[in-house]
Amino acid sequence: MTNKVNFGDELVDPEEKTRRVGEVFSSVARRYDLMNDLMSGGLHRLWKDRFVARVKPRPGEQILDMAGGTGDVAFRMAKRGALVTVADINADMLEVGKERAERRGFTGLAWKVENAEKLSFADASFDAYTIVFGIRNVTDIPGALREAHRVLKRGGRFYCMEFSSSDWPGFSRLYDSWADKVIPRVGKVVADDEESYRYLVESIRRFPRPPVFKKMVADAGFVRPAAEPMLGGLVTIHSGWKI
C-alpha cells in the first residue's frame, strides 16, 4: 500500500505530486512574478521585505534560499551583503531568476537545482536557511525540515514564510472568494493556465495552521521555534535555531 499525499485537493502518490508540482512551476515560471503582483495586490513585496528584516542577513554570511524560484528573496538578502545560494527543484524557475539577476546586476549569487528533501550540501554548510512560499509544495515536509537542520551550522537560523488559511472569520470569507473565483481566472487570462493557479490556491488551504507547523519545526530539532502570524495566519513567518 502506498501513502497518498495531497496535490491540492487530489490524493496522489508521492512521486506523482513531485512531478506535478514540477509541471505547475515550469508552466508558470515566465509569468510567475507578474502573477504574484496580481494575486496579492503587490502585498508579497511587503511580506518579503518584512521576512528579510527578520532574517537580518549579515555581510559575508552564507545563506541557502531554498525553493528560491526567481530570486525575489535572494536579491533582497544579497543587497545586504550575504552570500546567497538560490536552490530550487525547478530549472525553469531558476533560469528566469538568473536572467533577472543579470538584468539587475547581481553577480554574487549561486544557482543550484536541488530537491529540498535531499540536499547535496555537506553538513553545517550555512549560517541561515530561508524558504518562502516553498515548503507547502514539498512532498515530504518533515524530511525537508530535517535536511534544513542538517545543512545549518551550529547557531544557524531557520526562517520560513508560508501561507495557510486565516482564522479571522470575515477576512477568511473574503479571501476564500478572492482565491476561488479571482485567482484561477486571472491565471487563465494572464498565464493561460487556470489549473496551476487552482492548485496554488488549494495548496495554501491545505497547509497546516501555524501552531501545527511550529511543532513540525521543533520535531526537526530546531530550538526556540516561533511563529509570527500575519492577517490571522494567512501568512506566517516561522523561525528556529540550531544549537
Q: Which residues bind to ligand SAM, rule: CB under 6 A?
A: 21, 25, 67-69, 72-73, 88-90, 93, 115-117, 132-134, 137-138
Spatial CB neighbours of 160, under 8 Å, sequence gap ≥ 6? 130, 131, 132, 135, 213, 217, 237, 238, 239
Q: Helices 194-206 and 14-28: crossing angle, nearest 10°?
A: 130
Instruction: Give me the least distance between CB of 243 and ligand SAM, in Å please.
Output: 26
What span, in angstroms and rounded, lies between the C-alpha atoms of 96 and 108? 16
Instruction: Give me the least distance between CB of 48 and ligand SAM, in Å please.
Output: 7
Nearest position to ligand SAM, beta carbon: 69
What span, in angstroms and rounded, lies between the C-alpha atoms of 15 and 4? 10
Instruction: Give me the least distance between CB of 234 and ligand SAM, in Å please.
Output: 15
Q: Which is nearer to ligand SAM, 203 or 224 (CB)?
A: 203
Q: Which is nearer to ligand SAM, 113 or 224 (CB)?
A: 113
What span, in angstroms and rounded, lies between the C-alpha atoms of 212 and 233? 12
Q: Which is nearer to ligand SAM, 46 or 223 (CB)?
A: 46
Give the burial string for 77-91 (b: 16+ CB within 10 Å, else e). bbebebbbbbbbbbe
Instruction: Give me the least distance between CB of 51 and ligand SAM, in Å please.
Output: 9
CA angle 90, 211, 199 (to 5 degrees): 35
Q: Which is nearer to ligand SAM, 73 or 234 (CB)?
A: 73
- Pairing relationship of beta strands 62-66 and 223-230 according to DSSP bridges: unpaired
Instruction: Give me the least distance between CB of 192 and ligand SAM, in Å please.
Output: 18
Q: Which is nearer to ligand SAM, 154 or 239 (CB)?
A: 239
Q: Which is nearer to ligand SAM, 52 or 138 (CB)?
A: 138
Instruction: Give me the least distance between CB of 170 and ligand SAM, in Å please.
Output: 26
Cell of 210: 501555524
Are 62 and 122 spatial neighbours (Cβ–Cβ below 8 Å)?
Answer: no
